Structure 1
Amino acid sequence: MCFLLTAGFVSANDNTQYQITSQDDSLRGEVKKNVILYLNDFSAPDTDNLAYWEKLVKRQVSQALQALGYYDSKINLTIDNSSVETKITIDIAMGYPIVIRQSNYQVVGSGASFKPFVTQRNSYPLVVGSKLDHGSYQAAKTAMMDIARAYGFFDAKWLKHEVAVDLDNQTANIELSFDTGSRYQFGSINIAQAHASNDIIHAMAPFHTGDNFTSSAIANYNIALNQSRYFTSVQAIPALPNPITKRIDINVTAVNRPRNIVEVSAGFTSDLGERGRLKWVKPWINRYGHSLESEIKLNQQEQSVTNNYKVPHGDPNLDYTNYVLGWRHTSNFNDTSNRYRKYSLQWQRHQQITDQWKRILLLKYEREKDDTQSATRTHIIPGFSYIRERRIGGITPNWGDRQFIQVEVSDKAWGSQSSFYKLSLRSNWLRQFNKTHQILLKLDAGYISASDINDVPISMRFFAGGDNNLRAYDYNSISPLDSDNKSRGALTQLLGTIEYSYPVKDKWRLAIFHDVGTIGDKFLEDKYSDAGIGIRWETPVGLVRLDFAKGLQSSDIPRFDKPFNISFAIGLDL
């Protein structure tokens, strides 16, 4: 009895088809795939020299089999010209694989004990007794050279690399000897032409002259340069390695941004209605990299003017101070007769304290006028915050998380009108599974310790509702109410969101969500929740979100009695 296994079909052209079979049922798995791969786009039969063509086909199939260690295979060809389409049947009996009898692999040179080389050497798969696989053999060689280039071993080379196959005994001996050579160090940073930004370009380098070279440092350097917002275009490229000094210089070409940049934008969100923005930026004020950014924002809920003067202390992306002067005029949440105005001056010290965590020290002077009580409050508020943000996928991420912790304190002892402290915690997580299912989890907690709610500026109280939490409720409409049945802000809040989305079409996702929260002067005092569905559209400007939410709680107050709301926003609130 014989078994016929059809391994696959390969089309040479419209009139020729290869049928790959194995009557002894030996052709399987990766070997079968490799044969098909080798025969892809192979030429059609040459009827004038059929014997030579058959020889070429057999050689091609043999190479596919030998690449995976099968040197004793039997190959038979049958050509059928009885129809318009020529059918060529290739029957393969694989035979036994070549087994490794001896495998010697040594690493020498100054980097022989370097961990990446040691790890790669220890993962070498072609050990004594295993099947010969030329693909794994070449991959192991390539991996060592990749490590050498990535870590600056530019003189690395293979002293010996041999595979000796004994066909009589179906065995192979492998000899590998790799010399790492010396490791190169970073040389100087050479800037193509004189720039006012020379000091900043040097300050952003994550390496110093004499440090061991790594390609990842160059990649991070280019990212930092492009994120700095000082340049229209900038690139850092390693020069050719110097075999005498064992150093490699870095050549930087940069084009500064214009001295003045003006941006105008307009848009709409369901929270704020129509909105507009005018922004003026001076990327360069002096050779130390100082910059100025002024912004005017206008919408139905608030109007603001902000001026931010930035002073870098090294890498302007990671270590800098902001001096912020601001004015804000806000209606008290959907009541245009209920307004407050705030003037503020802030000092903010931004520092990257670990690879992932950023710390901000702040000192604020705020003067807030509350039109509802004809009162003006002045506060001096020191504080600090810690932030960690990670994301994959750019402006439409499919993986990421953001952690935020902030403490702010006001006290009469240093000139504030009232004493209180505020603690804010936020933790958001986005995860994707099987490249399809996305889960978004959000937690937002806050607590203010104060003897009376009126001691706390309106801008620092807690409000909920809107596009990013409790979506069935109007923007910032949720909080305890005053005597006029208007939201006056709270001392505590605890909000949570769970959202699941699934792709229904390219760039489009369908989402379901559930929001819960409690907000009041005590935890768990007043509870709110909603549920709904949403549409997500990935665009070049960010994730467009359209949500339909229904409140789940009944209330004597109409706006809180199982409300329904449609919200629209751009961007993922991570």
Structure 2
Amino acid sequence: MPIALPTVLAVLLPALTLADELRYAVNGVNEPLLSNIQQHLDSFAFTETSRLAARRFDDLRMTAEERVRAALKPYGYYQPEILSSVREVGDETWEMRLQIQSGPPLSVAEANISVTGAGADNGELRTWRRGWPLQKGAVLNQLSWEEQKKAALAVAEAQGFLSSKFVEQRIAIDLAANTAALTLTLDTGPQAFFGEIEYQQDILHPWVLDNVPRFYPGKAYSAELLEQFRLDLWRTGYFSDIEVREDRQLKDSPPVVDLQAVLQSDRRDTYQGTLGFGTDTGIRLQGLWSRHRLSRRGDRIDLGTGYREFDDETSIRADYRVPRKTAKRQYWVASASLRSENQDLEFKRNAFDESFVQLANGQVDDIEARIGRLQIRDRKQGFQQIFETVFVELVRGTFDYQPGADADPGVLAASQDPRFAGIFKDTVNTIALGIEWDWPTVRGQGFATEGHHEQARILTANSAWGSARDFSQIYLSSRRGYLIGERFKFLLRAEVGYSNADVKKLSGSIADEPFSLSVTELPDTYRFKAGGGSSVRGYDFDGLSDNDIGSNNIVTGSAEIEMKVAERWSIAGFADIGNAFNDWDTAELRKGVGFGVRWYSIAGAVRVDFARGLDIEGKPWSIHFTMGSPLL
């Protein structure tokens, strides 16, 4: 029941008159009743051009009281007490005072809410019924009643019940008992299905677009799948103007929705360039040119180049994709890349020392070429997609670590010793067969972004097909975000990777200080590294691995809770654990904890984390600055 204001809340509403002016002063009610009363009185205009006569007062008061009663009813107040009076407050100015006691609101005595028809067991409509707010004992709110009716029709429409209507809707008022009985029956009618798709375009061969829809003729109609169809057409990059029209044949049995896609394009190329900075990687530069349509077969090519300040890394990459003429939504894919970076060959004095001691420095170059087949597999009836790629990959890896001129004689001797070939310098060609999966399911924007993103990879290289190295590798990762109410979010992250590549070891001493090297024979592109803002925070970027050059195995995990504090701002607390290593028996998982601030900008999430590694005594707090969703 609204609480009457302790002081008079006067609202002056001038009537549209050319002679006298009539104002209103409303007392005894609070929001939202007050605003609704204002609106009802505002629409009541006194328009006579003569002076108000006393005989008109009774008519004006009765009309105003009727309008107040009408304004109170939507909120369940059917028996208010209203005292009205009119007095002259100035020359040709009158004031009508309305003293209102709203009385107790009507309560719901019973609510009979039902769904009939083909959608009676639909999960979304069951959810709507379970969330019905006007249950027994609740205050009757007709605004909520109307909102719930609109919501039901919207849900039914989205689920493909396009002929839904209410066959019974009744609010039975019992003023003596001050209660209301609600009856609402939604008949969904039959389920509609997708029909044929007609593409109006002259850019591609017609069969190219058969790979785009996540549905087929005869599949249950879904507004979400239809919207995904529009987005998927846009993501192909083929078209600049997309219009999808529906032709609803609702009198058919069953109802069918045919689609007409009108597609146009005035561009074939796009150019992108980015300049970024992160505390982990330093300055980053990227450039990308894409030709979305090389021919009517729908093949496309992307050429990109990049630079990263960390390790002075440069890269060039080319990707090519062409649709296959099959009904399985497949593409032939090929890629080639060249990556070059500068690395230090280092060791630690002990396992809990954060800093490395440099033995040598050198250039690491990788040339990669891959061919494969990409297949898009639908999950959850097309609402999710898994991208599966089967591939053959050739990697030519070269590294050359050179001790400095003033290096310890023992290191200089070891670098030239044939027994340690493959530690300081080597060139290796590997041929790997593999399969990988990418399963992104992310929805929402800003703080409300949630979902999951899984990735997996299995590959093997063997001399049987010409590889110079024999090894196998398996990798799994998962990132998940869960919204808890409107202000809290949980982020969970985990990854595990295993490789059985051989490991070369070298032990010695420098100035009577012992050192130990453990170098995997994995090509650099397959090596695992941990640490940094997207891994184990509180440690240097890629700083957790054997000798700082990568390892056979990796295990990391993270748990984070985030709380929204403003429209675009949130704070977070987290705990991370993990490491990359060659030997499972001696693996030491590093732990880090900290807190952070998030700003959800138009360009994406900006994340600033303050973290401290717990396994290194006296380690100071470190700052990690990253951008983008942690789910991607």
TM-score exceeds 0.5: yes
State the match for 2:4 in structure 1.
6
- In the alignment, which of 397, 413, 428 is matched to residue 368 of structure 1? 397
State the match for 2:265 in structure 1.
256
State the match for 2:497 in structure 1.
446
Q: Does 1:567 align with 2:629?
A: no
SS at 2:500 equivalent: strand
Q: How far, CA to CA, are the matches of 1:132 and 1:546 in structure 2?
A: 47
Q: How far, CA to CA, are the matches of 1:325 and 1:417 in structure 2?
A: 20
SS at 1:325 equivalent: strand
State the match for 1:62 in structure 2.
69
State the match for 1:541 in structure 2.
603
For residues 322-352 of structure 1, what are the alpha-carbon distances to aligned partners after superposition, in whole Å with 9 as ceiling and x for unaligned? 2111211122259894122111122343432
Question: Are the counterparts in 1 of residues 27 and 99 from structure 2 also a CA contact under 8 Å?
Answer: yes
1:74 deviation in Å? Answer: 4.4
SS at 1:416 equivalent: coil
State the match for 1:518 in structure 2.
579
Q: How far, CA to CA, are the matches of 1:476 and 1:4 in structure 2?
A: 61
Query: Which residue identity does 2:101 align to in structure 1?
Result: I
SS at 1:207 equivalent: coil
SS at 2:467 equivalent: coil
For residues 15-74 of structure 1, what are the alpha-carbon distances to aligned partners after superposition, in whole Å with 9 as ceiling and x for unaligned? 8542236xxxxxxxxxx8664453143436969344333223322333345446665554
- In the alignment, which of 415, 434, 448 is matched to residue 466 of structure 2? 415
Q: Does 1:340 align with 2:364?
A: yes
TM-score (norm 2): 0.72
Query: Which residue identity does 1:347 align to in structure 2?
Result: I
- In the alignment, which of 354, 372, 390 is matched to residue 379 of structure 2? 354
Q: Does 1:465 align with 2:531?
A: yes
State the match for 1:234 in structure 2.
242
State the match for 2:540 in structure 1.
474
Label 1:550 to 1:146 Cα distance change in 2 as closer, same or farther (>3 A): closer
- In the alignment, which of 451, 476, 493 is matched to residue 400 of structure 1? 451
Question: Are the counterparts in 1 of residues 530 and 579 from structure 2 also a CA contact under 8 Å?
Answer: no
Equivalence map 1:130-529=2 (5 Å): 138=146, 142=150, 145-146=153-154, 149-155=157-163, 184-196=192-204, 198-239=206-247, 241=249, 243=251, 246-256=255-265, 258-300=267-309, 301=311, 302-313=313-324, 319-332=330-343, 337-348=361-372, 349-355=374-380, 356=384, 358=386, 359-372=388-401, 373-394=424-445, 398-452=449-503, 453-481=519-547, 487-503=548-564, 505-523=566-584, 525-529=587-591
For residues 124-154 of structure 1, what are the alpha-carbon distances to aligned partners after superposition, in whole Å with 9 as ceiling and x for unaligned? 8999999987557656654564455445555
TM-score (norm 1): 0.78
Q: How far, CA to CA, are the matches of 2:538 and 2:256 in structure 1?
A: 62
Label 1:77 to 1:549 Cα distance change in 2 as closer, same or farther (>3 A): same
Q: How far, CA to CA, are the matches of 2:163 and 2:2 in structure 1?
A: 53
For residues 206-239 of structure 1, what are the alpha-carbon distances to aligned partners after superposition, in whole Å with 9 as ceiling and x for unaligned? 3334444333332221222223332223231313
> For this pair of structures, how many residues does the alignment match?
550
For residues 164-187 of structure 1, what are the alpha-carbon distances to aligned partners after superposition, in whole Å with 9 as ceiling and x for unaligned? 768799898988787655554434
Question: Are the counterparts in 2 of residues 12 and 43 from structure 1 also a CA contact under 8 Å?
Answer: no
Question: Are the counterparts in 2 of residues 227 and 317 from structure 1 also a CA contact under 8 Å?
Answer: no
State the match for 1:558 in structure 2.
none
Q: How far, CA to CA, are the matches of 1:137 and 1:500 in structure 2?
A: 36
1:305 deviation in Å? Answer: 1.4
Q: How far, CA to CA, are the matches of 1:72 and 1:508 in structure 2?
A: 46
Query: Which residue identity does 1:51 align to in structure 2?
Result: D
Label 1:76 to 1:314 Cα distance change in 2 as closer, same or farther (>3 A): farther
Question: Are the counterparts in 2 of residues 11 and 40 from structure 1 also a CA contact under 8 Å?
Answer: no
Structure 1: 5+ residue stretches without partners? 22-31, 482-486, 556-560
Label 1:275 to 1:100 Cα distance change in 2 as closer, same or farther (>3 A): closer
Q: How far, CA to CA, are the matches of 2:104 and 2:494 in structure 1?
A: 62
SS at 1:41 equivalent: helix
Question: Are the counterparts in 2 of residues 100 and 131 from structure 1 also a CA contact under 8 Å?
Answer: no
1:244 deviation in Å? Answer: 6.4
SS at 1:476 equivalent: coil
For residues 388-426 of structure 1, what are the alpha-carbon distances to aligned partners after superposition, in whole Å with 9 as ceiling and x for unaligned? 333333366543333333222222333222222223232
Label 1:135 to 1:462 Cα distance change in 2 as closer, same or farther (>3 A): closer
RMSD: 4.5
Q: How far, CA to CA, are the matches of 1:68 and 1:480 in structure 2?
A: 69
For residues 242-297 of structure 1, what are the alpha-carbon distances to aligned partners after superposition, in whole Å with 9 as ceiling and x for unaligned? 64685433232323262222323333333333332221111012223221111111
Compare 239-248 and 211-220 and name the one that shifted more: 239-248
Q: How far, CA to CA, are the matches of 2:133 and 2:285 in structure 1?
A: 62
1:115 deviation in Å? Answer: 4.2
For residues 419-474 of structure 1, what are the alpha-carbon distances to aligned partners after superposition, in whole Å with 9 as ceiling and x for unaligned? 22223232333344443344433323322223324422222222223332344443
Label 1:528 to 1:387 Cα distance change in 2 as closer, same or farther (>3 A): same
Query: Which residue identity does 1:440 align to in structure 2?
Result: L
Query: Which residue identity does 2:453 align to in structure 1?
Result: R
For residues 468-509 of structure 1, what are the alpha-carbon distances to aligned partners after superposition, in whole Å with 9 as ceiling and x for unaligned? 23444433233223xxxxx23223332233444444554333
Question: Are the counterparts in 2 of residues 120 and 143 from structure 1 also a CA contact under 8 Å?
Answer: no
Q: How far, CA to CA, are the matches of 2:127 and 2:587 in structure 1?
A: 59
Question: Are the counterparts in 2 of residues 271 and 475 from structure 1 also a CA contact under 8 Å?
Answer: yes
Structure 2: 5+ residue stretches without partners? 14-22, 346-357, 402-423, 504-518
Compare 120-129 and 499-508 and name the one that shifted more: 120-129
Equivalence map 1:8-27=2 (5 Å): 12-13=11-12, 16-20=24-28
Q: How far, CA to CA, are the matches of 1:398 and 1:313 in structure 2?
A: 34
